[in-house]
Amino acid sequence: MLNVNKSGDTVMKKNVLRVVIAVVVVIFTFSTGLWVGISFDSFKGYLLKIKQNNTSEIKPIEEAIDLISGNSLVKKSKDELLKAAIEGILSVLDDKHTEYFTAEEYKKIMESYSGTMSGIGVVVTLDDEGQVVVVRILPDTPASRAGIMEGDIITEVDGIDIEDMALEKIVAMIQGKEGTKVNLKIYRPEDEDIIEVTITRARFDVPNLVSEILEEDIGHIWYYAFQDGGAQQLDKEIQKLIEDGAKGLILDLRNNPGGVLDDAVEVCDLFLDEGIIVTTRERMEDKEIIGKYSAREGKYTEIPLVILINEFSASASELVAGALRDNKRAILVGERSYGKGVVQVLYELSDGSGIKFTTAKYFLPLGSFIDGVGINPDVLVKLEPDATEDVQLNRAIEKINTLISEIE
């Protein structure tokens, strides 16, 4: 199935080709919010052309695998050697986002598109030191019942040290069928304690957002991840909040991992009636291709808007926050965001395995490239680990009240 994006380009929606724009994953049966539907038909065509061309250029690899598998003193299967060859090719890219996935791992990643999930129910990310940090626990899930807490650091999965392991691989290890068990070793910085816990995986529905009315006229919306159809849900929620008396909105993107690019664009579209949302620059057959996503007429272009971000607001979250600020449509409150401005493509190989590597960069409307830098908020508010109240939300409430008073 093919969709059309804002600039009129054709967007692929097949499992064999996906684009990655997030750095945070959810441990269900999937890596939620990870894959972005961007215009990569040209890339698919390029890959197909490679397959159809004469294979003489890769013949030496096949010869080497045949010779080694049949004659090496160290016995290795052809599958093991093929995996090593692919990983070797990816390693020369010097790209921290490249990864090879076995067929089993790739299948688990592709299961991410189910609306009902099976797993333990936590959101994790990598911190600056490469540690796997829990940034959200979904209510009424195995993780919440097991006492997992935000800020916990996962160090082992089923007795395997996960240091320096790709986040997707860690997620694949924790994923599993309903009713099966996973053993985790966790370091809890708050108590300087090591915890070992066995959790039974279960199936559950994952909410994309939750909302509430604060101080009678402020709509507060937690937007968990950017997914297909998320903007439509957000639209309905905003309409309900306005009907309930909301005169201003706080869009909470803290700990939001990012996700589907089209959804991020559509969220921006709700609040904009014109202007550039994002520009992408990709490399294809040694040519630079520039794509632009432009805003259409939005439904909520006048209502005051504050966006909350923190160090775990990543990728598509940063795109939305940055685009709305660059278009003078929102004020950002909180802490500097994660900083990911590159795009990866995920491609399924003929044996069911998959590879991921960087193919593009994205730029905010005013031209800034945020990779490794992040976005600084307009109002800096740090939230200390031992805080007893949400000072960031409190500051956002103050700011939105000021904006409301200015239009009344």
**Residue 216: Cβ within 10 Å count:** 9
Per-residue pLDDT tens, the chain, 408 aa: give them.
223 333 333 333 333 333 444 444 444 322 323 333 333 344 445 445 555 555 667 788 888 999 999 999 999 999 899 889 989 999 999 888 888 988 888 877 776 545 556 789 888 888 878 899 998 888 889 999 999 998 999 999 999 999 988 887 888 888 888 999 999 999 999 889 999 999 999 987 777 899 999 999 999 999 988 888 899 999 999 999 999 999 999 999 999 888 778 899 999 999 999 999 999 998 877 888 898 999 998 999 999 999 999 999 998 999 999 999 999 999 999 999 999 998 877 788 888 898 888 888 999 999 999 999 999 999 999 998 778 899 999 999 999 999 999 987
The DSSP line for 113-138 is: G-SEEEE--EEEEE-TTS-EEEEEE-
- Pick the catalytic residue from 340, 353, 356, 399: 340
CB 271, CB 37: distance < 8 Å: no
Six token digits for residue 237: 């929620």
Helix orientation angle between 167-174 and 103-110, rounded to the nearest 10 degrees: 80
CB 300, CB 307: distance < 8 Å: no
SS3 386: coil
| Residue 273, Cβ density class (10 Å: 0-12 exposed, 13-18 middle, ≥19 buried) | middle
pLDDT confidence of residue 382: 95
β-bridge pairing 181-188 and 17-20: unpaired
- Determine the Cα–Cα distance for residues 171 and 181; give it in Å rounded to an integer: 14
Domain ranges of the chain: 2-109, 117-205, 209-340+360-407
Q: Quick check: is 91 catalytic?
A: no
Q: Which amino acid is at 311?
A: E
Single out the residue of 110, 140, 98, 102 nearest to residue 16, CA to CA: 110
* CATH 3.90.226.10 fits domain 209-340+360-407: yes
β-bridge pairing 248-252 and 305-309: parallel
Six token digits for residue 336: 């500097």
Element (H or E) spanning 289, and its range? strand 287-294
- Determine the Cα–Cα distance for residues 147 and 190; give it in Å rounded to an integer: 14
**Residue 312: Cβ within 10 Å count:** 24
pLDDT confidence of residue 56: 67
- Pick the catalytic residue from 31, 315, 317, 337: 315
pLDDT confidence of residue 347: 83
CB 334, CB 373: distance < 8 Å: no
Q: Quick check: is 351 catalytic?
A: no
Single out the residue of 282, 26, 365, 372 nearest to residue 168, CA to CA: 26
Place of tokens 């807490």: 149
Q: Quick check: is 108 catalytic?
A: no
Say which DSSP state 259 is in: B
- Determine the Cα–Cα distance for residues 220 and 33; give it in Å rounded to an integer: 21
In tens, the pLDDT along 265-307 reads 999 999 999 999 999 998 877 888 898 999 998 999 999 999 9
SS3 193: strand
Place of tokens 């590597």: 357
**Cα 350 to the chain's mean position, in Å?**
26
Q: Which amino acid is at 358?
A: T
| Residue 103, Cβ density class (10 Å: 0-12 exposed, 13-18 middle, ≥19 buried) | middle
pLDDT confidence of residue 385: 76
Six token digits for residue 72: 């090496």
Question: How far apart, in Å, are the Cα atoms of 109 and each of 106, 255, 363?
Answer: 5, 21, 27
* CATH 3.30.420.40 fits domain 117-205: no
Rg (CA), the chain: 22
pLDDT confidence of residue 229: 87
- Pick the catalytic residue from 152, 252, 263, 326: 326
β-bridge pairing 342-348 and 354-363: antiparallel
Beta bridge partners of 384: none
